């Protein structure tokens, strides 16, 4: 069968139109032959998103962005209107899923879907209005991280600049001279420290012998204490025994005996004070006192007379001859007898 030129031209035109439509759909982000589900989402800003960028789920491309428009009537959460499609057959977006504008690298932007795993609220339809957010891009993250460091570096550089200026102001001829003088003083101080160390070393050498003797004496004392350990133990044992004896003494009986003795002494003093007994009569009877005084006086006179005239009382013989004393008068003999009678046996 021979095909006419007109039929060939018609077939070519139809195929060309189909390819043109498919190409336009592909360039718009739709499938080649169309028929994809389209969704509308609102964002606070575009975040650098543009048409023909991809829609990602777990890093896999499932759709394309068809348009990004400014929403004149939108509030702060819906100032940008984004239309995107899903090219995967049978793929649905569960309600409660997280929809964000973000990027996986420094260059490519897209819509990132974080699906709700339970899907308990159902699924979005093409007629639903979806609200999403904008992730902080990598450059913004780097800037947020770098801004505080930059500020600190600026402050640090300012401090370094001030330090350098201060050093420049200090490091002049006067400062150089002061440093040289300080180094000389440090050198002199080090020499003095060396002299002091030498004197200390000499002193230690001189006192080493004395220290050795002292240590020997301590050693001897400790040895003596060790040898006398048994004696010290006995002394401590005796002391312990004495303390035990003191503890076991019957203090009550001793106190009672002392109390009884004091009572007897008090009774005796009362009798003496009342004139009873020999001591009481001696203290209270004036006649007895006068007689004792008179007797003492007469006894003293007798002693004096014996000293003056011993021959009156003592008889002795010389060469067999008996010498008789001077005979006593009756008055003297009476006085002597009276005196002898007053002397107690």
40, with CB counted inside 10 A (0-12, 13-18, 19+), is: middle
For the chain, what is the mean pLDDT?
77
Task: Render pLDDT for 17-28 as a digit per residue (tens, 0 to 9).
Answer: 776 665 655 555
Residue 82 has pLDDT above 90, yes or no: yes
Radius of gyration of the chain (CA): 71
Distance, C-alpha 247 to centroid of its chain: 48
Distance, C-alpha 50 to centroid of its chain: 65
The better pLDDT of the pair 320, 289 is held by: 289
* Strand locations in 129-260 (E): 129-131, 133-134
pLDDT tier at 315, thresholds 50, 70, 90:
low
Residue 164 has pLDDT above 50, yes or no: yes
pLDDT for 99 equals: 92
Cβ neighbours around 53 below 10 Å, total: 21
pLDDT for 47 equals: 85
pLDDT for 318 equals: 47
pTM of the model: 0.36
Separation of alpha carbons 113 and 326, rounded Å: 170
Separation of alpha carbons 105 and 224, rounded Å: 92
- Which of 94-98, 134-138, 296-300, 317-321 reaches the highest mean pLDDT? 94-98
Task: Render pLDDT for 240-249 as a digit per residue (tens, 0 to 9).
Answer: 777 666 666 5
The better pLDDT of the pair 196, 175 is held by: 196
The better pLDDT of the pair 291, 185 is held by: 185
- Which of 87-96, 160-169, 330-339 reaches the highest mean pLDDT? 87-96
Q: Which two tokens stand for residue 307?
A: 């000293």
Task: Render pLDDT for 210-226 as a digit per residue (tens, 0 to 9).
Answer: 777 787 887 888 787 77
Residues 182-197 have a mean pLDDT of 85
User: What are the Cα distances from residue 3, in Å, to 9, 16, 141, 238?
Assistant: 10, 19, 66, 150
pLDDT tier at 279, thresholds 50, 70, 90:
low
Q: Which residues contact 271 (CB under 8 A, 6 or more apart)?
A: 277, 280
Residue 320 has pLDDT above 60, yes or no: no
63, with CB counted inside 10 A (0-12, 13-18, 19+), is: buried
Domain ranges (residues) in the chain: 36-135, 285-342
Q: Which two tokens stand for residue 207?
A: 């006192």
* Torsion angle defined by CA atoms of residues 137, 139, 141 and 143, in that order, rounded to the nearest 10 degrees: -150
């Amino acid at each position: 069968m021979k095909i006419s030129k007109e039929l060939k031209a018609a077939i070519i035109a139809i195929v060309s139109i189909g390819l043109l439509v498919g190409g336009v759909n592909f360039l718009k982000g739709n499938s080649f032959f169309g028929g994809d589900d389209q969704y509308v989402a609102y964002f606070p800003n575009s975040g650098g998103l543009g048409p023909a960028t991809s829609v990602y789920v777990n890093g896999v491309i499932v759709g394309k962005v068809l348009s990004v428009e400014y929403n004149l009537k939108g509030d702060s959460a819906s100032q940008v209107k984004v239309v995107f499609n899903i090219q995967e057959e049978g793929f649905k977006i569960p309600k409660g899923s997280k929809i964000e504008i973000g990027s996986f690298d420094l260059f490519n932007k897209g819509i990132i879907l974080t699906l709700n795993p339970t899907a308990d609220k159902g699924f979005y339809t093409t007629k639903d209005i979806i609200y999403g957010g904008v992730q902080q891009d990598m450059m913004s993250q780097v800037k947020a991280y770098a801004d505080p460091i930059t500020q600190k570096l600026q402050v640090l550089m300012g401090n370094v600049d001030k330090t350098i200026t201060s050093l420049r102001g200090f490091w002049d001829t006067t400062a150089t001279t002061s440093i040289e003088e300080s180094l000389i003083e440090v050198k002199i101080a080090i020499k003095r420290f060396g002299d002091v160390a030498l004197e200390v070393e000499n002193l230690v050498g001189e006192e080493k012998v004395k220290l050795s003797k002292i240590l020997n004496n301590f050693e001897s004392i400790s040895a003596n204490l060790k040898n006398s350990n048994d004696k010290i133990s006995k002394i401590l044992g005796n002391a312990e025994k004495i303390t035990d004896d003191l503890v076991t003494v019957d203090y009550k009986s001793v106190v009672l005996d002392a109390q009884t003795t004091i009572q007897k002494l008090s009774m005796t003093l009362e009798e003496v004070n009342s004139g009873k007994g020999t001591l009481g009569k001696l203290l209270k009877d004036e006649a007895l006192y006068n007689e004792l005084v008179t007797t003492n006086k007469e006894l003293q006179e007798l002693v004096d007379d014996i000293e003056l005239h011993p021959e009156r009382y003592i008889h002795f013989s010389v060469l067999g001859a008996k010498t008789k004393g001077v005979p006593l008068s009756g008055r003297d003999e009476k006085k002597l007898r009276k005196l002898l009678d007053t002397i107690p046996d």
